[in-house]
């Protein structure tokens, strides 16, 4: 009875909020989970920010120990300093830790319960169209990742994530290969935009794995790794088919929309800047400072290019600026 009383007295401090039951189901008891949903800040910012009134700095657990217990749990800090308080806090922490260790997430639990939830959510994020509503709980998915990191499943979870996204990108690449030339550019643009949009949700959801496994043990970053996957499995396989079509579209004004051309060129530059060398003039229209500064000896060539552009515009129904202004003046006169 005395031990139970001590547990009740010291129940609010230390790691109790993160170790309350077998799977951290009350991991947000200290306010962390409520803050996650209550803030209007972007997802990535909310995941790293502590509860209101907490000291400045991210509320992140220390790196997990091999047995699944988080470092940085200070028994004395749980109930304040002092003899009786310190003893009560130590008993409380030990009881919580024992309960936590008796109910660890096994490899089988991870495979049968936790990863299937993550797998389904990733599927939806990778295949959503812009503006679609995705019926998933971001809090639940983030909590799954958090628990798996605390229970030492980071390596397996990272491997599963990379395999999942790689398989998706290989399917995307095959679909692009089957596209007819007149749809090839537009479909590549959709695939690129859809993937980059998905990363804006996937990366924050796996922020704990990134923080305590990828950055710490692999010395890399999750977003960089996932962008590299698209480069290797999609862009590199299609760049030599895509670039001639882009150059042809550039020479035929309005064959594709300017926004599509801009998205693809900027995206290719983000994936691999050295691809600029394949078509410097094309990239220079959308990426600043690609070409060397203009020199006086090439002014005539610049003028010839400008005249050609004007002829192309007129052939497609656009009139020169002075003619437009003249007609506008005539309309004002007659009115």
Higher per-residue pLDDT: 223 or 310: 223
What is d(CA 47, CA 41) in angstroms, rounded to the nearest whole number?
A: 10
Q: Which parts of 103-235 fold into alpha helices (H)?
A: 107-109, 115-127, 138-150, 154-177, 181-205, 207-209, 222-230
Structure tokens at 140: 């639940």
pLDDT at 216 (0 to 100) = 96
What is d(CA 246, CA 207) in angstroms, rounded to the nearest whole number?
A: 36
pLDDT band at 177 (very low <50, low <70, confident <90, very high): very high
Yes or no: say if 279 and 243 are a contact pair by the CB < 8 Å rule: yes
What is the average pLDDT across 321-328? 46
Q: What is the pLDDT of residues 211-224, one digit of tens each?
A: 999 999 999 999 99
What is the average pLDDT across 298-304? 69
Q: Which parts of 39-79 fold into alpha helices (H)?
A: 43-48, 75-79
Provide CATH code, domain 107-287: 1.20.1310.10
Handedness of CA 41, 45, 46, 52 (dihedral sign): negative
The yes-or-no verdict on residue 46 having pLDDT over 90 is: no
Radius of gyration, CA atoms only, the chain: 29
Q: In the chain, where are the structural domains located?
A: 107-287
What is the average pLDDT across 50-55? 38
The yes-or-no verdict on residue 335 having pLDDT over 80 is: no
What is the average pLDDT across 60-85? 43
Range of weakest confidence among 11-25, 111-125, 218-232? 11-25
Structure tokens at 191: 């695939």
What is the b/e burial string over 26-52, where b = at least 16 CB atoms within 10 angstroms of the residue's CB?
A: ebbbbbbbebbeeeeeebeebbebbbe
pLDDT at 255 (0 to 100) = 82
pLDDT at 64 (0 to 100) = 45
Q: What is the pLDDT of residues 182-197, one digit of tens each?
A: 899 999 999 999 999 9
The yes-or-no verdict on residue 145 having pLDDT over 60 is: yes
Yes or no: say if 209 and 145 are a contact pair by the CB < 8 Å rule: yes
Highest average pLDDT, of 24-33, 73-82, 269-278, comes from 269-278
pLDDT at 281 (0 to 100) = 87
Q: What is the pLDDT of residues 259-289, one digit of tens each?
A: 999 999 999 999 999 999 998 889 988 988 8
What is d(CA 80, CA 58) in angstroms, rounded to the nearest whole number?
A: 22
Q: What is the pLDDT of residues 132-141, one digit of tens each?
A: 767 788 889 9
What is d(CA 187, CA 175) in angstroms, rounded to the nearest whole number?
A: 9
The yes-or-no verdict on residue 74 having pLDDT over 80 is: no
């Amino acid at each position: 009875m005395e031990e139970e009383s001590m547990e009740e007295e010291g129940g609010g401090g230390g790691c109790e909020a993160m170790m309350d039951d077998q799977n951290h189901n009350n991991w947000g008891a200290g306010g962390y989970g409520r803050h996650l949903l209550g803030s209007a800040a972007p997802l990535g910012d909310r995941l790293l920010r502590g509860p209101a009134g907490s000291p400045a700095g991210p509320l992140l657990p220390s790196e997990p120990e091999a047995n699944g217990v988080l470092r940085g749990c200070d028994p004395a800090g749980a109930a304040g300093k002092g003899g009786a308080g310190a003893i009560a806090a130590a008993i409380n922490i030990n009881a919580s830790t024992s309960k936590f260790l008796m109910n660890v997430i096994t490899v089988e639990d991870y495979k049968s319960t936790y990863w299937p939830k993550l797998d389904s959510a990733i599927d939806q994020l990778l295949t959503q169209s812009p503006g679609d509503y995705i019926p998933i709980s971001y809090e639940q998915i983030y909590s799954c990742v958090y628990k798996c990191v605390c229970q030492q499943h980071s390596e397996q979870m990272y491997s599963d994530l990379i395999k999942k996204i790689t398989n998706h990108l290989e399917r995307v690449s095959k679909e692009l290969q089957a596209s007819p030339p007149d749809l090839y550019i537009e479909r590549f643009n959709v695939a690129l935009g859809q993937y980059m949009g998905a990363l804006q949700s996937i990366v924050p959801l796996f922020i704990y794995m990134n923080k305590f496994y990828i950055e710490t043990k692999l010395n890399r970053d999750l977003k960089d790794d996932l962008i590299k996957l698209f480069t290797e499995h999609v862009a590199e396989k299609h760049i030599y088919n895509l670039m001639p079509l882009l150059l042809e579209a550039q020479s035929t004004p309005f064959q594709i929309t300017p926004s599509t051309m801009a998205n693809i060129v900027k995206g290719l530059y983000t994936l691999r800047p050295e691809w600029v060398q394949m078509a410097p003039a094309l990239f220079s229209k959308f990426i600043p400072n690609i070409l060397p500064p203009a020199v006086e000896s090439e002014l005539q060539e610049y003028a010839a290019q400008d005249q050609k552009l004007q002829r192309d515009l007129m052939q497609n129904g656009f009139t020169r600026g002075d003619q437009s202004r003249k007609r506008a003046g005539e309309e004002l006169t007659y009115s």
